[in-house]
Structure 1
């Protein structure tokens, strides 16, 4: 979370409550809780008055928790009610931070579900591959990113594309990206969810761009070097782009190491210019 300390504290308390309450839950039960929390986030997204009421600093946290509890009771599981009420009882500097926190909490539950099912690494790879497919097709990228297209239409498109080809958690996370996870655009949301999945596996994500596919030995060597550099395991996400001509570009967080032939040619052109 990148929110101020007050919202981080509220999120942390809600996350701890969720983890404790789902310690013995099955993967399916966690997936249900995740879907419920994400549905609450969807409600917060569309109802600004509710967001403001639930972050009103003049109201005690217990009152705000009681309000959301009364709205959700009987409609979702008690685990969801308790987790969201704990979140709402905390302090947020602005209403949008509550929405971000609710989205993160739902994603956390979804990733926990995939982890409990032993599918977390698979979900991470599927999210990245779908991102490559989407960005590689301008028509598809436009359709998925167009806020003027009803969300239900875009969700149906994703479900049709991924039905039987991806884990249920992957499909749900792509749907989260459609709504703009953390206020980002679709492509950026998808990348952040790839990184969140890797973080759940205690890994760093390295986006690698090459002109031709790396061999297994080359991937292992690069991963080992990056792991040594960053002090933790690294998950490589390799994108083959012939236009870079040769060499390797690696991006890890805000760090960029660009050793591609294209970059060197561009640098030479600028020097001569």
Structure 2
């Protein structure tokens, strides 16, 4: 999260509360808690007055927590109520920060469920592969990215595409991306969720573009080299693009290492054009 320290403190307290409340439940039960928290995020997204009331600095934290507890009582689990009320009791500089924090809390619960199920790496790969499928289909990109289209219709499209082919957490995270995770567009949200999943595994994500598939040995060597550079494990996301002609392009965060033949040709053309 990029919010001020007061928001991070509130998030940390809520996250700790959620971990404590859900320590003994199963992975599917944790998905249910995550869905409940994300439903609260949906409520906050649709109700600016509520967001303002829950972040009003003139009201004591206990008063704000009591307000959200009264709204959620009997509608969601105790774990969800306790986590969200702990979040609301903290201080936020802007109403939008509370929405972002609530979304993050729900996503963290989903990732914790996948981790508990031993499927976190699978979820990461499924999210990336789905992003590639979307990026390669203009009609699908338009259908899923259209914020003016019915959210229910877009959710159904995702469920139809992924039913029986992806982990339940993957499907739910794609649905989170449809709502614009952290205020981003769909594709950017999906990318951020891939990276959040990798971070849960204490890994950086390296986006690799090549003209032809890498061998297992080449992937292992590249991952080892990047791990040495970044001081932690690296998760390779390889995209095969014949148009780059040869070489390798690697992006990790804001770092770009472009050694493709296409880039070198373009650089040569620019040099001759001067």
Give the TM bin, normalised by the shorter chain. Answer: over 0.9
Cα distance in 2, alignment partners of residues 267 and 43 from structure 1? 50
Shift of 1:196: 0.5
Cα distance in 2, alignment partners of residues 198 and 238 from structure 1? 15
- After TM superposition, list the pairs within 5 Å mapping 1:160-171 onto structure 2: 160-171=160-171
Q: Give the RMSD, CA atoms, in angstroms.
A: 0.6
Shift of 1:21: 1.1
Could you tell me which residue of structure 2 aligns to residue 54 of structure 1?
54
SS for the counterpart of 1:250 is strand
Give the aligned length: 273
Question: Which region of structure 1 is more displaced relative to structure 2, 134-143 or 19-28?
Answer: 19-28
Could you tell me which residue of structure 2 aligns to residue 116 of structure 1?
116
Question: Which region of structure 1 is more displaced relative to structure 2, 51-60 or 263-272?
Answer: 263-272
Cα distance in 1, alignment partners of residues 72 and 204 from structure 2? 37
List, as ranges, runs of 4+ consecutive aligned residues in structure 1 with deviation greater than 2 Å.
none
Cα distance in 1, alignment partners of residues 12 and 272 from structure 2? 54
Cα distance in 1, alignment partners of residues 97 and 268 from structure 2? 45
Could you tell me which residue of structure 1 aligns to residue 28 of structure 2?
28
Q: Deviations over 1:199-255 (max 9, x none)?
A: 111111100000110011100000010011111111000001111111000001111
Could you tell me which residue of structure 2 aligns to residue 65 of structure 1?
65
Cα distance in 2, alignment partners of residues 90 and 265 from structure 1? 54
Could you tell me which residue of structure 2 aligns to residue 37 of structure 1?
37
SS for the counterpart of 2:206 is strand
Shift of 1:20: 1.2
Could you tell me which residue of structure 2 aligns to residue 200 of structure 1?
200
Shift of 1:184: 0.6
Q: Structure 1 unaligned runs (5+)? A: none
Shift of 1:91: 0.5
Could you tell me which residue of structure 2 aligns to residue 247 of structure 1?
247
- After TM superposition, list the pairs within 5 Å mapping 1:173-184 onto structure 2: 173-184=173-184
- After TM superposition, list the pairs within 5 Å mapping 1:1-273 onto structure 2: 1-273=1-273
Cα distance in 1, alignment partners of residues 87 and 141 from structure 2? 34
Shift of 1:33: 0.5
Cα distance in 2, alignment partners of residues 185 and 270 from structure 1? 33
Shift of 1:24: 1.3
Q: Deviations over 1:239-273 (max 9, x none)?
A: 01111111000001111100001111111111112
Shift of 1:25: 1.5
SS for the counterpart of 1:106 is helix
Cα distance in 2, alignment partners of residues 258 and 271 from structure 1? 17
Q: Deviations over 1:147-198 (max 9, x none)?
A: 1111101000000000000000000000000001011111110010001000
SS for the counterpart of 1:212 is coil
SS for the counterpart of 1:154 is helix
Q: Structure 2 unaligned runs (5+)? A: none
Shift of 1:144: 0.4
